[in-house]
Structure 1
Amino acid sequence: MDRRRILRLLTAGALATLSGGAAARSVFSGNRYYKGPVSDHFDGRVFFNPGGEEPLGFADLMRWRLSGERETWPARWPEDALEASPAARVEGESLRVTMVGHATMLIQTAGLNILTDPVFSERASPASFAGPRRVNRPGIAFDALPPIDIVLVSHNHYDHLDVDTLARLAARHDPLVVTPLGNDTIIRARAPGMRIEVLDWGGALSHGGATIHCEPAHHWSARGLTDRRMALWAAFVIETPAGKIYHIGDTGFGGGSNYRDAREKHGGFRLALLPIGAYEPRWFMSGQHQNPAEAVEGMRLAGARFAAGHHWGTFQLTDEGITRPLDALRAALASSRIEPDRFRPLRPGEAWDVPD
C-alpha cells in the first residue's frame, strides 16, 4: 500500500476514533460487515444505542481539536514501569487480573486465561508510523503470555481491535475470540483461520467452564469514514466458578441504564473492569466515554464488590493529563465513601488478586 493511501486511512481512522465517523456518513447503501434482521438496536443497515446519544460530528471535532486545551503527556511513563511474568494458570475460585495496558487485561481464574481487547502494537492506528503511540511497553511481554484460551473484543476502534495482535495470538495460542456482530468480518480479513464466535446483545456461549454473555454498552463503532456503526459494540459478563466479572471496553454513562440492567439480570459482580480515561472535554466525550465519577457510580449501580480501572495511561486520545484519572477517581471514591482498595486503577504490569 502506498504512503498516500496509508495517510488517507490514518486520517479516516483518527476521525472515526475521535468523532464517531460523523464527518461523512457512509456512501454505501448496505453494511459491509453484517447482514441480519432488524432489532431494537439495528435498523437493517447500522447499529445504534436505543434511546441513546449520537456521537458528535466533524465540525465539533475540529472545534475540540483547535481549542488548545490538551495537556502534554510524557513520551514514556511511568519511569518504574513493571513487566509481569504471569503464572501459567490460576486454579479454583482464585481470581487474578493483570494489566497489560489501556483496555488489555489478563483475567485468570478456574484454570482459564482470558485476554480483553488485546493491543500489543506500538500505535492504536491503521498505520505503523503515525497515530496515538503507547507511552509504556505492555505490562506483559507478548512472549511471556500464558496460554490464552479466550479473547474478548468489545468493538472495532483501533485501541480495542488490533488485527496484527489478533493474528499473532491466532498463530501462537489459537484462542477462541468472542466479539459482537460484524467484527468477525474485520478480524478474518487479517487472520482468516482465527476461531471466532459472534454474539448479539443478550446472547451467550459457554467455553472451557465459563459462560460469556454479550451485553449493551453506550458506544459506537468505526474503522474509517465510511463504516460508521456497521459493527456492533458491547460489554461482556464472564460467568465463572469464581463469580461473575463485568468487562466494559468503552462506554458513555448513558444515565446508568446499562449498569442497572446488568445488575437486574446478573445479580451483581465480584469484579467489574471499567474504563476511567479518555473523557475530556465532557461536551464532546460524554456520549462515548464515561469519567471516573461515572465509573464509580456504575460500579455501585451494577452491584460490583470490586472494580479495576482501565483505558487510561497508555494512549493519549483526549485532553486530560496522564494522571488526571487517578486524581478524579480518588475524589469520586471519597465522595461516595467507597474504600480505595475496592476500585483500583491498575498500571501496566500490575497484578491484583481480587478478594472473594
Structure 2
Amino acid sequence: MGQQQHNGTSHHHHCQYHHSVAAPHNITTTGSSNRSCSSATMMMMMNTTQASIWMDEDYERVPIGSCLNEQTKLQNSYVFKDVYIENLMPRKAKQEETAESIPSHWVMKGSKLLEFKNPWDGFKQPSTGDVFKFQREMALNKQIIPSNDELPQIKPNINLLNNPDIHSVRGDAPQVTWIGHSTFLIQYRGVNILTDPVFSERCSPVQFMGPNRIKPLPITIDNLPTIHFVIISHNHYDHLDYYAITALQKHHDPIILLPYRMKYDWMEKFYNEKNHSALSKLKLMELDWWKSTSFNASIGLDKDSSERVESNFTFTYMPAQHWSMRSGFDRNEALWGSWGVQCTFVNPSSDVSQTKSQSESIENVSNTACNTLEIAENVKMEGVTSDSCQTHTQEQHTEEVNMNSNDNIKSYKMWFAGDTGYSKECFTEIGNRFGPIDLSFIPIGAYEPRWMMKYQHINPDEAVQIALDIKSKKQISMHWGTFILTTEPIMQPKKDLEECLKQRGLDSSFFVTMCHGDTMLATSSNDIESTSMAELSMNEKKLVETVILAETISTQDRQAVIEEKL
C-alpha cells in the first residue's frame, strides 16, 4: 500500500513528558527529598536536569532515554533535552485468572484472549448471507448527490483554527470544527484533539475503489494546527485511515489513543525507522473499556508573563455496541468503543481575570501552545485485569470525580460515540458513571436498511435517546453527509433528526448538525455563539461575527467596532 504524499511545513514545538500512575507511592527526584503522594497529587512537573521515579515492585520502569538531543531531528517531536524520563507501566497480574475476573466483553480460549464481543443481550452479528443481501441492495441503490445549497461546505478559517476563540482557551466552551464524517477538530484550553481522522478520498483498503467523498475535504492535514491528541474509536476504514495516521505522525507526531489490541505494526514503523521504538510506548496507547489515561497541560496566556491556564485531560475508553474488522481474517480481534474526555481545571476565576485581549493572546497560542505543554501520563492498563468496571457503583464514581471538588476546580466533559448500535444497558451505564456530560458527538447516519444496520448503527431517534441516556446537555451530529455507506438518502439523517426533536419536544439546539468545514463554539446554552454559521442569514452572520470580534478586543474599542460593522 503506497504512502500518500503531504506537502507543507511542520510545526515544531517543545514539550516535556512526565509519567506517573495513580496508586500512592514515593517519588524521588534529583535535588529533592522523598515524599509520599496521594492519588490526587500524583501528577508532577519536573524541571530538573535529571529525574527518576521509583515505584514499588508491582510496576516496572521503562527508560525512554537521557538527554535525547537527537529527538529534535524529528518533525514536531517532543523534546526530552536534559530530562530523564521513565515510562511507568503496570506489570501483568500475578494471580491466576478466574472466569469471574475476566471482563464480560472478552472471549477467551483457555488462558488466551481470543477476541471481543458485545456483552449485552439482543446483539446479532450479521451473517454472510446478510452481507451479500446488503451488497445487492447497495448495488441497486442510486443516490442523488445533494446540491451545495442543500449540503453546503464552508472553507475553514485557518487563522481561527491556529488562534482559537479566547472563550475556548480560558475554558468557557470548546471550539469545534467538523472536517467530515466522524472527524472533528476539538480545541479546548490550548489543547487540540482530533477524532477518528479520515482524510483520504475513499474510506477503503485501496484508493481506486470503495466509498468516495461526496464533498471535497475542507482542510488537509498539513494545514491543521498542531495536533496534540488523536482518539480512535475502532478499526473500520471510515474511522481508521492509514494515510491520515501516517501523515499525522509525520507532520504533528501526536499522542494517539487506541482501542485495546489496535496498535498495528505500521503505526510503530514511524518510531522504529527513527530508532526511537521506545517512543511508541508513549505515543501509541491502547486502552480497554473503562480504562483511563491522564495528562496535565500548562498553557501560557501571554509570553511576557507567568500567567498560565492549567488543566488536566483524562481520556477514558468506554463501551459501544459495534464490531471490528480490518481484513477478512481479524473479525473482533481488536476492540471497539467510545471515548470520554474530561478536562479539569483549577482556579477558573483567575483564568478569566488573567485573560487579556485576543490580539494579545494570539501570538502566545500560535507560537507557544505546545512549548509549555507539560504532560503527566497516567496509564491504568494491565495485561489481564479484573473486571472492576462491572462492579463499579455510581457512588464510587461520584466520589472519584468529585474527590478534589471545591469552588476553584471545575471540569468539562465530552463524549465521542464512535460507531454504535443501541443498547439501553450500555448507555445507561455510561450516563451513570460518566454523566452528566457537557458535549457529545453522536452518529446519526448509515442506518438503513434496519434489518442489517439495527445492531451496529443507530438511527436519529436512537441517537437522541442515547443523548438522554448518557445525560448529555448538547450534541453534535456526525457519521452522515460525507460517504455513501448505506441505502438511506444522503440528507435523510438530518431530516429525521429534526423531526425527532420536534416529536420529543426538544429544542433544535439540543442536537445540532454542522456543515463540512464549519467551526463553532459549543456552548451548552442556546445563545448566538452555539449556532452553526452555515445556518444563519447574512445579517445574522454579520451580527455573530461582530459579537465575536467585540469579545476579543478591549472594552474601549468595542463600541466603535460594533458601529462600524452594523
Which TM class, normalised by the smaller chain length?
0.7 to 0.9
| 1:65 maps onto 2:135 in alignment | yes
2:321 aligned partner: 218
Distance 1:292 1:300 in 2: 13
Describe the superposition over 1:261-298 as per-residue Cα deviations: whole angstroms up to 9, x where unpaired.
Answer: 11110131110100110000001001100000000011
Residue in structure 1 matching 2:209, options 110, 122, 130: 130
Residue in structure 2 matching 1:328, options 496, 501, 522: 496
Please report how far the alpha carbon of residue 186 of structure 1 lies from its aligned counterpart in structure 2 after TM superposition. Answer: 5.4
Describe the superposition over 1:61-81 as per-residue Cα deviations: whole angstroms up to 9, x where unpaired.
Answer: 222232466341429866742
Query: Structure 1 residues 295, 168: closer, same or farther in 2, change over 3 A?
Result: same
Please report how far the alpha carbon of residue 95 of structure 1 lies from its aligned counterpart in structure 2 after TM superposition. Answer: 1.1
Query: Structure 1 residues 251, 187: closer, same or farther in 2, change over 3 A?
Result: farther
Distance 2:477 2:442 in 1: 5
8 Å CA contact retained: 1:202, 1:214: yes
8 Å CA contact retained: 1:73, 1:321: yes
The one-letter amino acid of 2:291's match is G
The correspondence of residues 153-168 of structure 1 with structure 2, limited to 5 A, is: 153-168=232-247
2:104 aligned partner: 40
The one-letter amino acid of 1:50's match is P
| 1:91 maps onto 2:172 in alignment | no
Distance 2:341 2:211 in 1: 30
The correspondence of residues 43-58 of structure 1 with structure 2, limited to 5 A, is: 43=107, 44-52=113-121, 53-58=123-128
The correspondence of residues 59-208 of structure 1 with structure 2, limited to 5 A, is: 59-67=129-137, 70-74=141-145, 80-84=152-156, 85=158, 86-89=161-164, 90-93=168-171, 94-185=173-264, 187-188=266-267, 191-192=270-271, 195-207=283-295, 208=297
- TM-score of the superposition, structure 2-length normalised? 0.54
| 1:227 maps onto 2:330 in alignment | yes
Residue in structure 2 matching 1:243, options 385, 397, 412: 412
Task: Name the SS for the 1:297 alignment partner.
Answer: helix
Q: Which consecutive residues of structure 1, in runs of 5 or more, have no partner in the other structure?
A: 3-34
Q: Which consecutive residues of structure 2, in runs of 5 or more, have no partner in the other structure?
A: 3-91, 108-112, 273-279, 298-311, 345-410, 525-566
Distance 2:501 2:146 in 1: 29
Percent identity between the two aligned chains:
33
Distance 2:503 2:449 in 1: 22
The one-letter amino acid of 1:62's match is F
Please report how far the alpha carbon of residue 125 of structure 1 lies from its aligned counterpart in structure 2 after TM superposition. Answer: 0.4
Please report how far the alpha carbon of residue 259 of structure 1 lies from its aligned counterpart in structure 2 after TM superposition. Answer: 1.7
The one-letter amino acid of 1:355's match is T
Describe the superposition over 1:131-188 as per-residue Cα deviations: whole angstroms up to 9, x where unpaired.
Answer: 0101112233323211100000000000001111001001111100001111112552
Distance 2:329 2:483 in 1: 24
1:28 aligned partner: none
Task: Name the SS for the 1:66 alignment partner.
Answer: helix
Please report how far the alpha carbon of residue 258 of structure 1 lies from its aligned counterpart in structure 2 after TM superposition. Answer: 2.0
8 Å CA contact retained: 1:277, 1:311: yes
Describe the superposition over 1:15-46 as per-residue Cα deviations: whole angstroms up to 9, x where unpaired.
Answer: xxxxxxxxxxxxxxxxxxxx997531111201
Distance 2:266 2:315 in 1: 19
8 Å CA contact retained: 1:99, 1:139: no
1:275 aligned partner: 443
8 Å CA contact retained: 1:222, 1:228: yes
Residue in structure 1 matching 2:426, options 258, 272, 281: 258
Query: Structure 1 residues 59, 88: closer, same or farther in 2, change over 3 A?
Result: same
The one-letter amino acid of 1:41's match is H
1:27 aligned partner: none
The answer to which of 269-278 and 340-349 deviates more is: 340-349
Query: Structure 1 residues 271, 213: closer, same or farther in 2, change over 3 A?
Result: same
2:20 aligned partner: none
Distance 1:334 1:191 in 2: 49
2:507 aligned partner: 339
Distance 2:271 2:513 in 1: 35
Query: Structure 1 residues 88, 146: closer, same or farther in 2, change over 3 A?
Result: farther
2:467 aligned partner: 299
Task: Name the SS for the 1:333 alignment partner.
Answer: helix
Query: Structure 1 residues 79, 320: closer, same or farther in 2, change over 3 A?
Result: closer
The one-letter amino acid of 1:91's match is V
The one-letter amino acid of 1:49's match is N
Task: Name the SS for the 1:269 alignment partner.
Answer: coil
Aligned-pair RMSD on alpha carbons?
Answer: 2.2
Distance 2:125 2:215 in 1: 29
Distance 1:355 1:79 in 2: 24
Distance 1:56 1:80 in 2: 35
8 Å CA contact retained: 2:146, 2:491: no
Distance 2:219 2:501 in 1: 28
8 Å CA contact retained: 1:139, 1:350: no
The one-letter amino acid of 1:338's match is L
8 Å CA contact retained: 2:120, 2:426: no
Please report how far the alpha carbon of residue 96 of structure 1 lies from its aligned counterpart in structure 2 after TM superposition. Answer: 1.4
Task: Name the SS for the 2:316 alignment partner.
Answer: strand
8 Å CA contact retained: 1:180, 1:214: yes
8 Å CA contact retained: 1:76, 1:135: no
Query: Structure 1 residues 62, 286: closer, same or farther in 2, change over 3 A?
Result: same
